[in-house]
Amino acid sequence: MTSPFPPSSRPGGTVLVTGGAGFIGCAISTPLAEAFDRVVVVDNLHPQIHESGERPVELDARAELIVADVAEAATWDKVLADVTPDVVIHLAAETGTGQSLEESTRHTHVNVVGTSQLLDGLNRHGKLPRRIVLSSSRAVYGEGAWQDADGRLFYPGQRTSTTLDQAQWDFPGAAPVAMKASETFPAPVSVYGATKLAQEHVLQAWAKSFGVETVVLRLQNVYGPGQSLINPYTGIMSLFCRMAMGGKSIPLYEDGEVRRDFVLIDDVASAIVAGATSPQVQGEPMDIGSGEFQTIGTAAKLIAAHYGAPAPHVTGQYRQGDVRHAWADVSAAREVLGWTPQCSLEQGIDRLANWIDAQPGVKPA
């Protein structure tokens, strides 16, 4: 494969990727192997994602895989005895929004303690990297900012069970606005979102003290070929595909008008690689998404059409911890990283569905 990096821009050196055998880690493994001299991946191959417990075939063969737990100090004593990272990409995290409400200790341990153990290990071994790239989440915003009838921004906070039971999905007399790190105040409404915001704060406080560059990327709803088909807590697009594959009508929560920013894995991978290799970066968080919103209903209709399945139907159900609307203003990433999303929702759904159809043993949901 021809390297996408001209010799003058190829950073070289060593990149260390936590959680690098997962969905995003596998997607970035090949471009990282082209950009760096050495790629080291630390991942515990958790069975919720890796059913077989074996190295994923999608992980580039040039990446060195160390199976270990990022939240254990011994992991970093082992890894850093042999590895001197120039850049660290921190992907390792528990990601289920709904699951985090039931397993808050697990999510906090992996996401927050896993981050602090990594940083303590780097400091303990005197191996401070030049840059750390953190994969954060739009979940840090919670419901985000809304605009009232007079154009004033306000933060409505978390929707309650009472209003949701009454099917009051939106906030009366108000309209949502795009999430933008430089303007939107973070106010998470899930344990997962709270732990991702804690990750950001821990990393930035530490990095500023030691002169380490940070790139914090708040990702919207990532989907596409390669995502887990066995994890019940993530991947609504793959779940919809498997429902439609079986000829089912896709159920839509709330009123089907929930807005989301579905961003294809290819675009996310290019953003993370840009964050790791760009000559200059800023320390403030940046948002990564498709640059536009779609409703859950629109995505479900496209998937149903692909499979010739019945039209989706609205159930009126809801899930605690879900926000009503979420999409990103990606202008900062464009300006700082020179990154632009390339793929439309229609193209992405075709790619995802075709990939799922080609997987052996996939069963309809």
Direct distance between the N- and C-terminal alpha carbons of the chain, in angstroms, rounded to an integer: 37
Neighbours of 172 (CB within 10 A): 8
Distance between CA atoms of 48 and 99, rounded to whole angstroms? 12
Q: What percent of the chain has pLDDT over 90?
A: 84
* CATH tag for 14-358 (out of 3.40.190.10, 3.90.660.10, 3.40.50.1110, 3.40.50.720): 3.40.50.720
- Ramachandran angles phi, psi of 334, nearest 5°: -60, -45
What's the pLDDT score for residue 46? Answer: 83
pLDDT tens sequence across 114-147? 999 999 999 999 999 999 999 999 999 999 999 9
- Cβ–Cβ under 8 Å, residues 300 and 250: yes
Look at residue 43 in the predicted model and tell me its pLDDT: 97
Lowest-pLDDT choice from 50-64, 81-95, 237-251, 339-353: 50-64
356-359's contacts with Cβ under 8 Å and 24+ in sequence apart are 356/229, 356/238, 356/241, 356/242, 356/245, 357/245, 359/229
- pLDDT of residue 88 exceeding 70: yes
CA dist list (Å): 21 to 219, 221, 226, 328: 18, 19, 11, 26
Strands 146-148 and 153-154: antiparallel
Predicted local confidence at residue 2, as pLDDT: 42
Residue with more model confidence, 129 or 97: 129
Give the pair of three-digit tokens for residue 58: 């999608």
Query: pLDDT for 202-226, tens place per residue?
Result: 999 999 999 999 999 999 999 999 9
What's the confidence (pLDDT) of residue 138? 96
Claim: this prediction has a pTM higher than 0.85: yes
pLDDT at residue 233, rounded to an integer: 65
Average the pLDDT over 185-207 and give the result. 96
Residue 118 pLDDT: 98
Catalytic residue among 141, 155, 192, 253: 192
Q: Is 192 a catalytic residue?
A: yes
The alpha carbons of the chain give a radius of gyration, in whole angstroms, of 20
Domain boundaries, the chain: 14-358
What average pLDDT is seen over the chain?
Answer: 93
> Tell me, what's the pLDDT at 290?
97
DSSP 172-217: TTEEE--B-TTTSPP--SSHHHHHHHHHHHHHHHHHHHHT-EEEEE
Q: How far apart are CA 334 and CA 339, in angstroms?
A: 5
Q: What is the mean pLDDT of residues 83-109?
A: 87
Of the pLDDT bands very low, low, confident and very high (cuts 50, 70, 90), residue 97 is low
